[in-house]
């Protein structure tokens, strides 16, 4: 394989090439490098890092664990140092362990969930969030993070949509790059405050049928390449060191045993030479999927398909040696996998310094420090999306405010994948609102109900608070287990007790602001018409309460824009902006009354489209123009629009540029995001925004899977969201 083989590392004061090191390893030692077990196998870390895990349950020996190549989910400088030290004392060749963990949206300083970060459209801040997460994780002993998750998502029933940045391939790719840059920096070997990134889940995990986790994915290769693959590719182009497989099938073959996907596409076509790790237990799951009769066959299929590390099951540990002995597996495949693992260890500097950045003293200074919390606050401000506002926001400091709802005093604002975060340190919404009031006694707080249950007493308290207040702030949502992995819901409304609370409070005729804490686009029936204002706060992270209060009182102007459509109801799902038109679109001039592509009972359009978000100011878009009506490969176009802040407060608008190919060889989406610009405008200020549109942005995958553009008619659209746009036509001439 690659030229990495001649690289030299230092072990015990001696230099050795990676190739020679592999040459010294026994087959069992090599196989052990391909095994990854979680923290319970290394219990006792605090004292000595002894191996005490339930090895019998996996049918493996202490020797295997002792020689294993990496650990899952260990963090904390002291523990990591102990485990690494004990490992090195016992490991014959002195090969250090790689510590891998899910540092998804922050380590101790938790940032908003990735879907919320997506809604900020703020790539530099997204990058900074990853850089901070890396720094906190690295000093706590982590070497690799299982992030970014770049799965494109269209179905809000799927709990893991909160881990993605949304439904658009271009935007997802931009975020993938930003996260990888933030995690890895530019010099992993020299910069110990960075960690290696592992993009996941390869591939198309977001397209599971019916929004159910782990479910079948079956896409045409064109769909796969056009919509689902760009995120992973972008991460790899940015230098992402690792890839994780996905649980789902892709074209009938589970991703974790899929040679077409991993050997052909990932390795051969894209040239990826880093580590490919299975998702948790996914090698053994080849049996349940039905492509392996037993663990032996599962091991053989996964290794042949390209999986280097098996996470959390023991098909490799128990079977690879036999498979080699029987000539069913070429030992060279194992050597290749080991080489990739050793290469990453070298890149991270682990042979020279197996403890890398782990440092209990520095850990105390860096983790959850004020600067990091300030960055989390900033990103939370930018991630919240104002969905509705009928003259009730911003709130005034002199108002009497009743904060009601299960999230009024909840610390559950971190969201899924915040296992390292501290829930106790989360700023509660009611406390933050109190700080904004001129008289603290003007704050009234009541739960009204729990997330999924209620009592009459809770209601009576809420009613009393509401009756005494000028404005109700209703803090509602899903608890963090209602999204994330295995957090799928078929009904994506708020839980019934919360809808009931809204209905009862509505009868009191007070202005009502709903603040939503949740991990997916919701069906807002029972909220949208009832509330006078709605702020989608997602799971906003450690500084969530402060950020939301800042926005509610106008200390900051909401600027988030949805990156995933909010469906009108779950019956529309999947509903996304970059869809095809159909042959019988609704609203066409010559459309029949009945025989068009529509529902009899609900609109086709989502309640709130991709790109949507309100602000406390008004933006006027005027004079959109295009530099020419003809584009060539050599001569790009410019699309220009004048944007004025015609309101009374400063604000940040996200100007969006979309394109439609009017007549493609294959059908093209009605709109595709091609670029965007975030613009900060003072009241009364006007700025001219200029986009350059080039031929390469018009390319797409044709029926022969070649990626090129078609000559002919196009539309360019500029506007504040995917729906409200001005169209300009042009021609591509070839
Ligand atoms: C998830 C992955 C995660 C892994 C390790 C799996 O269940 O699907 O996203 O990285 O566990 O924690």
Beta strands in 138-245 (DSSP E): 144-145, 196-202, 242-245
pLDDT at 54: 60
Atom 6, ligand 1: residue with shortest CA distance: 280
Burial class of residue 687 in the structure, from the number of CB atoms within 10 Å of its CB (0-12 exposed, 13-18 middle, 19+ buried): middle
Q: How many helices (H) and strands (E) does the chain have?
A: 21, 28
Is the pLDDT assigned to residue 341 strictly greater than 80?
Answer: yes
Q: What angle do CA 527, 531, 533 make, to 5 degrees?
A: 115
pLDDT at 55: 62
Q: 279 CB less than 6 Å from ligand 1? A: yes
For ligand 1, pick from 73, 102, 418 the residue to mutate: most ligand atoms within 8 Å of CB: 102
| CA neighbor of 205 nearest in space, from 280, 295, 138 | 280
Q: Which ligand 1 atom is nearest residue 205's CA? A: 8
Domains parsed from the chain with CATH numbers: 1-101+326-356 (no CATH), 385-570 (3.40.50.1700), 617-732 (2.60.40.10)
Is the pLDDT assigned to residue 370 strictly greater than 60?
Answer: yes
Read out DSSP for 555-570? SS------SS-B-SSG
Secondary structure letter of residue 393 according to DSSP: P
Q: How far is CA 729 from the centre of its chain?
A: 35
| CA neighbor of 490 nearest in space, from 209, 729, 702 | 209
- pLDDT, one tens digit per residue, over 427-485 is 899 999 999 999 999 999 999 999 999 999 999 999 999 999 999 999 999 999 999 99
Token pair, residue 288, equals 């349940």
Residues with catalytic function: 279
Distance CA 345, CA 144 (A): 10
Name residue, tokens 């889940």: 201
pLDDT at 44: 54
> Would you place residue 200 in the very low, low, confident or very high pLDDT band (cuts 50, 70, 90)?
very high
Q: What distances in angstroms separate CA 699 from CA 83, 165, 704, one per listed residue?
A: 51, 23, 13
Q: 605 CB less than 6 Å from ligand 1? A: no
Task: State in Å: Cα 200 to ligand 1 middle.
Answer: 9
- pLDDT, one tens digit per residue, over 250-300 is 999 999 999 999 999 999 999 999 999 999 999 999 999 999 999 999 999
3-class state of residue 249 by DSSP: strand
| CA neighbor of 337 nearest in space, from 368, 307, 302, 299 | 307
pLDDT at 1: 43
The continuous run of DSSP H or E covering 624 comes out as strand 619-626
Distance CA 552, CA 534 (A): 10
Percent of the chain with pLDDT over 90: 90
Task: State in Å: Cα 70 to ligand 1 middle.
Answer: 15
CB-based contact 96:351 (threshold 8 Å)? yes
pLDDT at 592: 77
Task: State in Å: Cα 573 to ligand 1 middle.
Answer: 25
Other beta carbons within 10 Å of 94: 18
Q: 102 CB less than 6 Å from ligand 1? A: yes
Residues 6+ apart with CB under 8 A from 236: 199, 243, 270, 272
Is the pLDDT assigned to residue 715 strictly greater than 50?
Answer: yes
Is the pLDDT assigned to residue 51 strictly greater than 70?
Answer: no
For ligand 1, pick from 255, 485, 486, 487 the residue to mutate: most ligand atoms within 8 Å of CB: 485
Give the chain's end-to-end CA distance (angstroms, integer): 41
Q: What angle do CA 494, 500, 506 make, to 5 degrees?
A: 110
Please, which contacts does 15-19 make with residues 24 or more away whose CB atoms are closer than 8 Å?
18/339, 18/342, 18/343, 18/346, 19/339
Q: 213 CB less than 6 Å from ligand 1? A: no
Q: What distances in angstroms separate CA 176 from CA 117, 639, 644, one per listed residue?
A: 12, 26, 31
Q: 192 CB less than 6 Å from ligand 1? A: no
Residues 6+ apart with CB under 8 A from 332: none
Other beta carbons within 10 Å of 179: 34
pLDDT at 65: 78
Is the pLDDT assigned to residue 179 strictly greater than 60?
Answer: yes
H, E, C per residue of 83-118: HHHHHHHHCCCCCCCEEEECCCCECCCECCCHHHHH
Rg of the Cα atoms in the chain: 27
| CA neighbor of 549 nearest in space, from 608, 444, 657, 473 | 473
Which is more confident, 5 or 307? 307
CB-based contact 177:134 (threshold 8 Å)? no
- In this prediction, residues 513-528 reach a mean pLDDT of 98
- In this prediction, residues 291-310 reach a mean pLDDT of 98
- In this prediction, residues 128-134 reach a mean pLDDT of 98
- pLDDT, one tens digit per residue, over 378-425 is 999 999 999 999 999 999 999 999 999 999 999 999 999 999 997 778
Residues 6+ apart with CB under 8 A from 212: 157, 158, 488
CB-based contact 681:689 (threshold 8 Å)? no
Q: 280 CB less than 6 Å from ligand 1? A: yes
Other beta carbons within 10 Å of 355: 16
Backbone angles phi, psi at 327, to 5 degrees: 65, 25
CB-based contact 38:54 (threshold 8 Å)? no
CB-based contact 541:520 (threshold 8 Å)? no
pLDDT at 4: 59
Beta strands in 275-393 (DSSP E): 275-277, 310-311, 385-389
Is the pLDDT assigned to residue 43 strictly greater than 80?
Answer: no
Name residue, tokens 């391939």: 169
CB-based contact 424:110 (threshold 8 Å)? no
Name residue, tokens 């708020």: 494
CB-based contact 160:201 (threshold 8 Å)? no
- In this prediction, residues 312-340 reach a mean pLDDT of 96
Read out DSSP for 55-78? HHHHT--HHHHHH-SEEES---HH
The continuous run of DSSP H or E covering 656 comes out as strand 651-661
Task: State in Å: Cα 106 to ligand 1 middle.
Answer: 16
pLDDT at 48: 46
Strand partners, 619: 645
Other beta carbons within 10 Å of 151: 27
Q: Which ligand 1 atom is nearest residue 200's CA? A: 9
Which is more confident, 143 or 91? 143
Token pair, residue 509, equals 């005729």
> Would you place residue 5 in the very low, low, confident or very high pLDDT band (cuts 50, 70, 90)?
low
3-class state of residue 38 by DSSP: strand
Atom 8, ligand 1: residue with shortest CA distance: 279
Q: 619 CB less than 6 Å from ligand 1? A: no
Name residue, tokens 């779950």: 570
Q: What distances in angstroms separate CA 200 from CA 114, 276, 510, 643, 679, one per listed residue?
A: 13, 10, 46, 38, 32
Burial class of residue 500 in the structure, from the number of CB atoms within 10 Å of its CB (0-12 exposed, 13-18 middle, 19+ buried): middle
For ligand 1, pick from 279, 283, 419, 420 the residue to mutate: most ligand atoms within 8 Å of CB: 279
Is the pLDDT assigned to residue 66 strictly greater than 90?
Answer: no
- In this prediction, residues 631-656 reach a mean pLDDT of 98
Peptide bond into 15 cis (omega under 30): no
For ligand 1, pick from 280, 283, 487, 488 the residue to mutate: most ligand atoms within 8 Å of CB: 280
Distance CA 19, CA 332 (A): 12
pLDDT at 86: 87
CB-based contact 535:615 (threshold 8 Å)? no
Q: What distances in angstroms separate CA 94 from CA 35, 196, 223, one per listed residue?
A: 17, 22, 46
Q: 200 CB less than 6 Å from ligand 1? A: yes
- In this prediction, residues 690-706 reach a mean pLDDT of 98
Token pair, residue 405, equals 């709802």
- pLDDT, one tens digit per residue, over 208-238 is 999 999 999 999 999 999 999 999 999 999 9
- In this prediction, residues 199-215 reach a mean pLDDT of 98
């Amino acid at each position: 394989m690659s030229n990495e083989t001649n690289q030299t590392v230092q072990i015990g004061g001696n230099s050795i090439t990676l190739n020679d090191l592999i040459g010294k390893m026994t087959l069992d030692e090599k196989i052990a490098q391909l095994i990854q077990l979680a923290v319970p196998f290394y219990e006792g870390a605090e004292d000595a890092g002894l191996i005490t895990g339930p090895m019998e349950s996996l049918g493996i020996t202490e020797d295997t664990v002792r020689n294993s190549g990496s650990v899952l989910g260990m963090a904390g400088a002291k523990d990591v140092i102990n485990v690494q030290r004990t490992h090195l004392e016992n490991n014959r060749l002195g090969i250090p362990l790689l510590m891998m963990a899910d540092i998804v949206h922050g380590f101790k300083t938790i940032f908003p969930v990735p879907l919320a970060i997506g809604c900020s459209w703020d790539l530099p801040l997204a990058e900074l969030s990853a850089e901070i997460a890396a720094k906190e994780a690295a000093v706590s002993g982590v070497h690799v993070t299982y992030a970014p998750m770049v799965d494109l998502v269209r179905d809000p029933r799927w709990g893991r949509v909160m881990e993605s940045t949304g439904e658009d391939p271009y935007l997802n790719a931009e975020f993938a790059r930003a996260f990888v840059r933030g995690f890895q920096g530019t010099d992993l070997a020299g910069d110990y405050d960075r960690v290696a990134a592992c993009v996941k889940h390869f591939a198309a995990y977001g397209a599971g049928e019916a929004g159910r986790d782990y479910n079948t994915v079956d896409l045409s290769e064109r769909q796969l390449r056009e919509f689902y693959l760009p995120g992973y590719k972008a991460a790899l182009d940015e230098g992402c060191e690792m890839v994780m497989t996905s649980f789902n099938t892709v074209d009938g073959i589970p991703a974790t045993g899929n040679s077409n996907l991993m050997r052909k596409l990932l390795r051969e076509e894209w040239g990826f030479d880093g580590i490919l790790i299975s998702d948790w237990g996914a090698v053994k799951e080849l049996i349940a999927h039905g492509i392996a009769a037993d663990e032996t066959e599962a091991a053989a299929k996964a290794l042949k398909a390209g999986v280097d590390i098996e996470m959390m099951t023991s098909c490799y540990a128990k079977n690879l040696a036999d498979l080699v002995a029987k000539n069913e597996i070429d030992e060279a495949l194992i050597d290749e996998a080991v080489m990739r693992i050793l290469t990453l260890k070298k890149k991270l500097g682990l042979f020279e310094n197996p403890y890398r950045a782990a440092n209990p003293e520095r850990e105390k200074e860096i983790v959850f420090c004020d600067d990091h919390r300030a960055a989390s606050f900033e990103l939370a401000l930018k991630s919240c999306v104002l969905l509705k506002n009928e003259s009730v926001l911003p709130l005034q400091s002199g108002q009497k405010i009743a904060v009601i709802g299960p999230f009024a005093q909840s610390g559950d604002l971190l969201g899924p994948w915040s296992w390292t975060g501290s829930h106790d340190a989360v700023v509660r919404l009611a406390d933050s609102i109190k700080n904004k009031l001129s008289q603290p006694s003007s704050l009234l707080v009541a739960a009204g109900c729990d997330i999924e249950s209620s009592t009459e007493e809770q209601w009576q308290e809420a009613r009393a608070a509401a009756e005494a207040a000028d404005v109700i702030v209703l803090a509602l949502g899903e608890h963090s287990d209602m999204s994330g992995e295995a957090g799928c819901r078929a009904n994506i409304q708020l839980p019934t007790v919360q809808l009931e609370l809204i209905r009862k409070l509505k009868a009191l005729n007070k202005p009502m602001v709903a603040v939503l804490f949740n991990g997916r686009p919701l069906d807002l029936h029972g909220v949208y018409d009832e509330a006078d204002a709605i702020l989608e706060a997602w799971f906003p992270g450690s500084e969530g309460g402060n950020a939301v209060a800042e926005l509610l009182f106008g200390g900051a102007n909401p600027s988030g824009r949805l990156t995933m459509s909010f469906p009108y109801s779950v019956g529309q799902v999947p509903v996304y902006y970059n869809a095809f038109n159909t042959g019988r679109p609704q609203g066409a001039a010559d459309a029949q009354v009945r025989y068009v592509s529509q529902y009899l009972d609900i609109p086709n359009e989502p309640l709130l489209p991709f790109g949507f978000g309100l602000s406390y100011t008004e933006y006027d878009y005027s004079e959109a123009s295009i530099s020419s009506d003809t584009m060539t490969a050599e001569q790009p176009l410019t699309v220009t629009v004048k944007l004025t802040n015609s309101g009374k407060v400063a604000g940040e608008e996200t100007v969006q540029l979309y394109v439609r190919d009017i007549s493609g060889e294959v059908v093209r989406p009605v709109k595709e995001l091609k670029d965007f610009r975030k613009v900060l405008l003072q009241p009364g200020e006007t700025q001219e925004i200029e986009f350059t549109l080039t031929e390469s942005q018009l390319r797409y995958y044709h029926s022969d899977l070649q990626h090129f553009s078609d000559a002919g008619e196009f539309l360019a659209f500029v506007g504040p969201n995917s729906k409200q746009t001005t169209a300009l036509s042009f021609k591509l001439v070839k």
